[in-house]
Structure 1
Amino acid sequence: MFFIVEKKGKFGVMDNRRKWIIKPQNYLIKYFDKDMGFIISDGLYYGIMDMQGKVIIKPQYEEIYKFSNRLYRVKKEDKIEDYKLNKNNKIGIINEKGEFVLEPKFDYINTDKYPFKFIQGAKYGFLDEKARILFEINFAYEDDFNNDILTLANKYWLVQKKAKVKFLI
């Protein structure tokens, strides 16, 4: 068990014996995920720190959420000389090294339910747990998704783990 502690405007992590696991640093430590480490913030952007206090991904993202095992959904804004541009405020997926496995070109990626729905422009699609595109949909919306069965324009698809997609009817 551990606690996020603020000391003189800096944040660190203590165990239940009041010993520092991570000595206070200038980063705001937001929360912990056992697979991810700590979400940290420099006041504007978010990154990831491991349990030893090493910054794995420096704060550079507007948003960062767990996508699946060791993959993270991130949103990064374009900036030119500290002016914010909204033209490419897109979402992508990075690995634990901060490398993009799915370039930031999506308007939305759901991380709550498998398969993971994405929106790109006016079109929907689905990703597997490794951020691979299962299939893109050329319809403006999904009709229904119930368990592993997806209904699109009165057609049924079976979507299973390990990137298996089958047309049923």
Structure 2
Amino acid sequence: MLVEPKFYKASYRQNDIWQVEIDKKLGLFDIKNKQFILEPKFDDMYNFYNKFIGVYFQGKEGLFDINNRRFVLEPKFEISSCGGTSKVGLNGKYGIINDKAEFIVPIKYDYISSCFSNDLSFVSIKNKMGYINKNAELVIPAKFETVTPFKYGFAQVKLDRNKKFGLINTKGDLILPFEFDSIYYIEPLAKFSVEFSEMREANKDISASKE
């Protein structure tokens, strides 16, 4: 037997590396070389896009490269994943990494959405919201109080928190004025409250009706 039975639980990861549990803490053990590559001190572990091991340590997260046996992100971040990208937070600022744990948006924003929708993600700069692309370019200026992710090429926005919603396209053009109490989508159409209008954008029908 290669390893003495001292683990409470053990589950196979890859390449002779096992995830083990001792005293309710998790680590990674090289069964071939009979040594820890991560000491059992972590609160939880998970697969990060099948490329890295995500770890929780004292309320923070990191990413461990099991093949090269090193952290690509030390366990000091907040990480929230969505659709191949992940929001990463540190000391109240946020950026985005891809599934290779490479930063595509630096950690500098007050807030950032985890997902890109229509290739855009919303960000907060000095309490105003705007949108960036995957090249970290601010393509729609941060001038809104309230925003939503893009859907069908459109996003709901407010200039003032207590005012009405308007609708913009991915270029930032105002498609519907700031006159709506609420906006909701009914596939494949978008239905808007308050006032009736009709238009087409990118070969999509959009209708609005009074409630």
Counterpart of 1:99 (choices 173, 193, 197) is 173
After superposition, residues 1-169 of structure 1 pair within 5 angstroms as 1-42=84-125, 44-66=127-149, 68-77=151-160, 86=162, 89-120=163-194, 125=196, 130=201, 134=207, 136=209, 141=211
* Residues 1:115 and 1:26: Cα distance change in structure 2 (over 3 Å): closer
Give TM-score, length-normalised by structure 1. Answer: 0.59
Would the aligned equivalents of 1:72 and 1:95 in 2 still touch at CA under 8 Å?
Answer: yes
Structure ranking higher on relative contact order (CA contacts 8 Å, 6+ apart): 1
Paired with 1:6 and 1:65, the residues of 2 have a C-alpha distance of: 20
Paired with 1:62 and 1:10, the residues of 2 have a C-alpha distance of: 18
Give TM-score, length-normalised by structure 2. Answer: 0.49
In the TM superposition, residue 135 of structure 1 has moved relative to its aligned partner by: 6.3
In the TM superposition, residue 68 of structure 1 has moved relative to its aligned partner by: 3.8
Q: Tell me which amino acid in the other structure corresponds to 2:128.
A: Y
**Structure 1, unpaired ranges of 5+:** 78-83, 142-169
Would the aligned equivalents of 2:86 and 2:114 in 1 still touch at CA under 8 Å?
Answer: no
Bigger Rg, which one? 2
* Residues 1:19 and 1:115: Cα distance change in structure 2 (over 3 Å): closer
Q: Tell me which amino acid in the other structure corresponds to 2:191.
A: K
Paired with 1:60 and 1:106, the residues of 2 have a C-alpha distance of: 18
Q: Tell me which amino acid in the other structure corresponds to 1:70.
A: G
In the TM superposition, residue 31 of structure 1 has moved relative to its aligned partner by: 2.5
Identity of aligned residues (%): 21
**Structure 2, unpaired ranges of 5+:** 1-83
Aligned residues: 126
